[in-house]
Structure formats: structure tokens, C-alpha cells
Amino acid sequence: MSLAYLNPTFVHRAARPRVRPEARSPKSRPGTPSVSHTYPKSLPQSSIGIPEQAFTHAPIDLQNNSIRLLEVLPADPKDPNGIIQCRIRHDTTAAVYTCLSYVWGVEDPLRKRMVLINGKSF
């Protein structure tokens, strides 16, 4: 079953990751994760004609147990490219959701699909 054909569900990490003191940036305060990832402002246009912009997300509120939930949207049966559409929303650890896991495996170029989160390439 392709991920694009799953029913809407939410993906969430089971627990907050613990940051070892030595893994923190020297400038970060305790409890504030350091961010080392940067994303390009824009990406080249995809081969299927969708202008690609880098996905960015808003910071979460660590004081209120905020988490990010990824909603996998229903597939469009008329889409010949099988684009996987998702949406991110912020909630608290009290939110109700279903975890979705994935399996590592041999990459199959014929099964590759574009993933859009909030309408942006991921």
C-alpha cells in the first residue's frame, strides 16, 4: 500500500527527545534545542510542473508541551503523479492522534513520490 492511499492520520513522535548537555549549542539555554538545519529559500521547479519552495515551520512553544502533528491527507485519485499531501499543525501532548510508522528499505525509483507539506516541497 502506498503512503498516498492511507486514510487521514496523524504522525507524532512518541516522546520528547532528550538533549545531552554536550549536544547543545554553547549559546542555547537549558531546554531550548539548538537549530543547526538551514533550508534553501527556493528550489528548482519540479519535473511535474509544481514550483517548489522549501518547507519551513513555525517554532513550537516548549513551555506549553507543544508538539507538531503531521496529517497525511487523502490521495487525489485523479493525480497521475501520486503526490503525497500533508499538513502540519501544532497541538499539545494531550492531543489525540494515531502514530504511523515507516520501514526502511531498498530505494525504488519507480515508487518515489513528491511530498508536499502545507503546499511546500519537503
Report pLDDT digits (tens) over 69-105: 889 899 888 888 888 899 998 999 888 888 877 777 8
| Residue 44 CA from chain centroid, whole number | 20
Question: How confident is the model at residue 49, as a pLDDT?
Answer: 53
Report how far residue 45's alpha carbon sits from residue 68's, in angstroms, rounded to the nearest whole number: 27
What pTM does this model have?
Answer: 0.48
> Does residue 10 have a pLDDT over 80?
no
pLDDT of 102 reads: 73
